[in-house]
Each structure stands twice: as C-alpha cells, then as structure tokens.
Amino acid sequence: MIDADTRDRILAAPEALLDDPAVMQALIDAHERTLGGNIVDLRGVAMERLEQRLDRLEDTHRSVISAAYENLAGSNQVNRAILHLLEPMEFAGFLGALNGTIASTLRVDRLRLVLESRVEGESALGQLSEAVLVVPAGFVADYLSLGRGTPTKPVVLRQVVPDLAAIYGGAEGSIGSEALLALDLGPGRLPALLAMGAGDPNLFKPAHGTDLLQFFASVFERLMRKWLN
C-alpha cells in the first residue's frame, strides 16, 4: 500500500497522472507484469501502437513546420535580393552589387556571372567587375554537366568539384557547394551562368528545392537583357 499522503494527493488530482506520459507508461508496464507472461493484454498492445503512431505524427508535424519556416525564410531572402537587384541605376553598379549586397542577402560567399564569348580574348564586360568571368563558347554547358555533355536542369545544386572551381577567381579553395543558375540572355546571345558559391558544403544539395532559385534566375536574366540592350 502507498502512504496516505501520496494516496490523498493522487485522489485530489488524478488528472496529473493522466497528463504525465512517463507515469502512465510505468502503470501500464506494471499492469502487464501482473498478468503474467502467458496472457496478452490487447488493450496494452493497442495503446502501445497508438503511442508509436502519435510519436510518428508528432515527428512529421515538427518536420512540416520546420520546412515551412525554412521556405518562408528562403522566400524572404530571395525577395530582398531581387529588390537589391532593382536598385542600381547603371550597369557597373548592378554588377558591383553581386558580391556585395546580393551575396550577403543570399548568404553565399561568392557570386560569379559567367558569360560566353566567341571572340578569344574579349574581356570588355569582364573589366567592368570582378564578378564577371568571360569564357569560351560551350563552357557553360560543359560546366553544368561536368563535361559529360548531358542535358541539365535550369538550376544545378551540388558540392564543388575542385578541378572545376576556378570560376570563383581565387576563392575556390573556400567554396564547398554551389548553385548554378543557367541564364538565357535572349535571341542571338550565347548562354550564360550565375554561379553562387558557399563555404558550407551542405548549403546546396541536389535534394533541395530549386523553385526560389529558378524565380531569382528568371528575374536576373530579364534584368541582364535590359542592361545588354
């Protein structure tokens, strides 16, 4: 028998036991032990399964909420970055913002606008900003596909391949992952690429969603068309 004081406290507030999962589990376990090993307590089995389902539902609930918050935070970052893209009144300022306010807003370490050129040694655009890299025709497709020549998605997320990370202009040793945004600069122009490099090797992974980055790329390429026109 339990002591009178504990008994009185339980009788005065029995709901306290019902609200304590650890106490309830201990009572269920004690009840099962009193039944012996040859008797199956179906009610106990059912409760155990319900508890397992509840735990799974709570885990799923937390995961959904976490994903929603991350998506909201990502949306806010992209929206702020787009507003910064719209601020410059001259092309040099637009390019200069890439590794300034745009990179810091997107929380990446390095941004590089890769432009293809058919003329060897042509670097007029490259002289406007260190964020611009002029490359030979065909480079963008090769870089996106890692030289395999296979079609790629508009946005490619992956860990950085050291042998190909030279596009980051001396910062390649500190870049762990990258987001590559293929750009269409309009009829008659060669493909282009906006490369986002991050020191965190887990910031950009192939399994991550790309909707927000695709939206950012569509805004960026439209602004580039306007500047180039």
Q: What digits encode the pLDDT tens for the residues 34-84? A: 666 555 566 666 777 787 888 788 877 777 776 666 666 778 888 999 999
Q: What is the pLDDT of residue 184?
A: 93
Number of neighbouring beta carbons within 10 Å of residue 105 = 19
Q: Does residue 123 or residue 71 have the better pLDDT?
A: 71
Q: What is the pLDDT of residue 166?
A: 75
Provide the CATH number for the domain around residue 101.
Answer: 3.30.450.40
Contact residues for 62 (Cβ-Cβ < 8 A; gap 6+): none
Q: Is position 6 within any domain?
A: no
Q: Does residue 157 or residue 26 have the better pLDDT?
A: 157
Q: Is position 10 within any domain?
A: no
* Domain ranges, residue 221: 78-228
Q: Is position 129 within any domain?
A: yes
pLDDT band at 216 (very low <50, low <70, confident <90, very high): very high
Residues belonging to the chain: 229
Q: In the predicted model, what is the mean pLDDT of residues 127-148?
A: 85
Q: Is position 157 within any domain?
A: yes
pTM recorded for the entire structure: 0.68
Checking if the pLDDT of 222 tops 90, the result is yes
Q: Which two tokens stand for residue 96?
A: 């200069």
Q: Which two tokens stand for residue 48?
A: 């155990």
Q: Is position 42 within any domain?
A: no
Q: Is position 50 within any domain?
A: no
Residue 140: how many CA atoms within 13 Å on its side-chain side? 26
Contact residues for 78 (Cβ-Cβ < 8 A; gap 6+): 106, 212, 213, 215, 216
Q: Is position 210 within any domain?
A: yes
Q: What is the pLDDT of residues 167-207, one digit of tens each?
A: 887 665 688 999 999 999 989 899 999 999 998 998 899 98
Q: Is position 62 within any domain?
A: no
Give the total number of structural domains in the chain.
1
Look at residues 162, 152, 166 and name the one whose alpha carbon lies nearest to residue 195.
166
Q: In the predicted model, what is the mean pLDDT of residues 8-14?
A: 81
